Amino acid sequence: MTAAQEVKEVVILKSVQETGKENLEKDIKEAYNRAVVHSRQLAAQEMQDIVGFNMPGIS
């Protein structure tokens, strides 16, 4: 996921497919949520780089 919160790619490995529907759904949800957190961190870092200082609530 990019700082613009665009999903770049989704890859489901055969080993994950074999774990069952519930596990696959849980894994996708967890991966998506981690990606959102990471993209927010990237966006905050980009904003900090642009303005040149740490803005409260952004980092």
pLDDT, tens digit, 9 for 90 and up, residues 43-57 = 888 888 888 766 566
User: Torsion angle of alpha carbons 17, 19, 24, 28, nearest 10°?
Assistant: -90
pLDDT tens digit sequence for 5-41:
777 887 877 776 677 878 888 888 898 899 889 888 8
pLDDT score of 15: 75
pTM exceeds 0.75 for this model: no
pLDDT at site 59: 53
Structural domain boundaries in the chain = 14-51
Closest alpha carbon to 6 in 38, 29, 28:
38
Q: Give dist(CA 32, CA 58) in Å, integer.
A: 21
Q: What integer pLDDT is reported at residue 2 of this predicted model?
A: 66
